[in-house]
């Protein structure tokens, strides 16, 4: 990381408070330890080796990734990796099986159509890959739909060469309401998880790993019956959704987008240079807005074009001036980070540029990236 003068950095740019990052990592690791859980953070949020190392140093026992690029980069940081996404197609399977041999590699999937080619590729490469069976627990995105399917797929994984059944994975992404309203939803998911572990154990397929959780339900992860590890990703930075759900406070926010006021011509508003290509148009738990000012929460981002962010000044006495810089809390931090080339990171009085080595999808070879397009 190179030291920079923040005044010389062009906006818009994502900004990270490294002291808050360390504090968040320590809190999550302490919570996991207190409840006998492991912490395997999903690095899709930050895509940075530096932040991943910080999480490992804080107590994370491994890393979760979603893409082959992320897997290739993070294999240089940890020897315990979970690809929480089904790898489909020969090119992806080749990249997957070429990851370092010493890596304890696990893959989550929900079909024999993914499992069987993976087993064949792993056998051909002379290695073994751990398998986690993913169950849909209410989000309706991926995951097998019944306990019977879980057992059937786990049994197949145990029989095939090149792979080993290691456990279960679930993602309760549908639980995004306020933390005080989550109890019934968490209990419902917990019942599904317990049913799976009981059925697998009865079939002689005791799951070593039960991987689950999410950031909105982070501090309730221990209520998911049988869970052994949590994969919360955006909790390293948090965002506006985390504030609205109640899983984080303003003092926990470690990521904002630094932006400059470029126009005040239209009455009742102002325009900044952070548009949809810096913030994204995800609404998530917001009420039609796309972010709020970090120091002025009464000022919201009411509209976005590609390079224009329109601020709503109807509830503030603040009168912005052209050239003034402000920071915006995005609704969803993961997407905003992925739109950045690099991040401006503050560590006390020092500012550095933080690389996002795992961003993109090109092939990672050593310390350089080869574009595959």
Q: Is residue 49 part of a domain?
A: yes
Report the run of H or E that residue 68 belongs to, with start and end.
helix 68-74
CA quadruple 55, 254, 250, 236: dihedral positive or negative? negative
pTM for the whole structure = 0.94
What pLDDT is stored for residue 347 in this prediction? 96
Predicted pLDDT at 210: 98
Q: What tokens does 44 get?
A: 């899709």
Q: Can you give the pLDDT at residue 266?
A: 96
pLDDT of residue 370: 44
Question: What is residue 278's predicted lDDT score, i.e. its pLDDT?
Answer: 98
Given a contact cutoff of 8 angstroms between Cβ atoms, the answer to whether 45 and 340 are in contact is no
**Model pLDDT, residue 283:** 83
Domain presence at residue 210: yes
- pLDDT score for 313: 97
Question: In this predicted model, what pLDDT tens digit does every residue of 71-120 receive, in sequence order?
Answer: 999 999 999 999 999 999 999 999 999 999 999 999 999 999 999 999 99
Which residues are paired to 212 by β-bridges?
230
**In degrees to the nearest 10, what's the CA dihedral of 279, 282, 286, 290?**
30
In a domain, 314, yes or no: no
User: What is the bridge-based pairing of β-strands 255-263 and 13-17?
Assistant: antiparallel
| pLDDT on residue 284 | 76
Helix/strand number for the chain, H first, E second: 10, 20
Task: Establish if 223 belongs to a structural domain.
Answer: yes
Q: Look up the domain containing 163 and give its range.
A: 19-237
Any domain includes 9: no
How many domains is the chain built from? 1
Inside any domain, residue 369: no
The angle at the Cα of 238, spanning 305 to 256, to the nearest 5 degrees, equals 45
Local mean pLDDT, 10-residue blocks, the chain (373 residues): 88 98 98 98 98 98 97 97 98 97 97 98 98 97 97 98 98 92 95 96 97 96 95 97 96 98 97 97 82 97 97 97 98 97 96 96 58 37
**CATH number of residue 113's parent domain:** 3.20.20.10
| Residue 253 and residue 331 in contact, taking contact as beta carbons nearer than 8 Å | no
| Residue 195, domain member (yes or no) | yes
Give the pair of three-digit tokens for residue 53: 């190392």
Q: How many beta carbons lie within 10 A of that of residue 42, not counting itself?
A: 25
Flag whether 192 is in a domain: yes
């Amino acid at each position: 990381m190179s030291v920079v003068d923040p005044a010389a950095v062009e906006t818009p740019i994502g900004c990270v408070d490294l002291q808050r990052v360390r504090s968040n990592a320590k809190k999550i690791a302490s919570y996991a330890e207190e409840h006998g859980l492991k912490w395997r953070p999903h690095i899709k949020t930050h895509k940075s080796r530096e932040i991943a190392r910080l999480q490992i140093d804080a107590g994370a026992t491994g890393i979760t990734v979603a893409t082959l690029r992320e897997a290739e980069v993070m294999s240089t940081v940890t020897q315990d990796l979970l690809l929480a996404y089904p790898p489909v197609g020969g090119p992806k399977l080749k990249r997957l099986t070429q990851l370092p041999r010493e890596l304890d590699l696990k893959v989550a999937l929900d079909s024999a159509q993914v499992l069987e080619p993976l087993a064949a590729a792993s056998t051909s490469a002379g290695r073994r890959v751990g398998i986690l069976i993913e169950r849909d627990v209410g989000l309706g995105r991926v995951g097998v739909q019944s306990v019977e399917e879980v057992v059937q797929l786990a049994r197949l994984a145990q029989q095939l060469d090149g792979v080993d059944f290691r456990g279960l994975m679930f993602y309760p992404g549908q639980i995004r309401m306020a933390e005080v309203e989550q109890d019934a939803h968490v209990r419902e998911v917990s019942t599904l998880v317990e049913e799976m572990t009981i059925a697998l154990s009865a079939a002689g397929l005791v799951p070593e790993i039960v991987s689950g959780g999410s950031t909105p339900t982070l501090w309730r992860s221990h209520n998911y019956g049988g869970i052994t590890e949590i994969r919360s990703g955006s909790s390293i930075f948090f965002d506006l959704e985390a504030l609205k759900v109640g899983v984080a406070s303003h003092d926990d926010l470690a990521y904002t987008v630094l932006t400059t006021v470029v126009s005040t011509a239209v009455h009742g508003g102002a325009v900044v240079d952070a548009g949809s290509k810096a913030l994204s148009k995800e609404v998530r738990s917001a009420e039609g807005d796309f972010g709020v000012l970090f120091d002025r929460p009464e000022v919201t981002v009411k509209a976005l074009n590609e390079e224009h962010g329109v601020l709503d000044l109807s509830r503030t006495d603040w009168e912005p001036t052209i050239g003034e810089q402000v920071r915006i809390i995005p609704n969803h931090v993961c997407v905003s980070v992925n739109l950045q080339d690099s991040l401006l990171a503050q560590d006390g009085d020092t500012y550095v540029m933080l690389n996002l080595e795992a961003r993109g999808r090109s092939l990672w070879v050593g310390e350089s990236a080869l574009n595959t397009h």
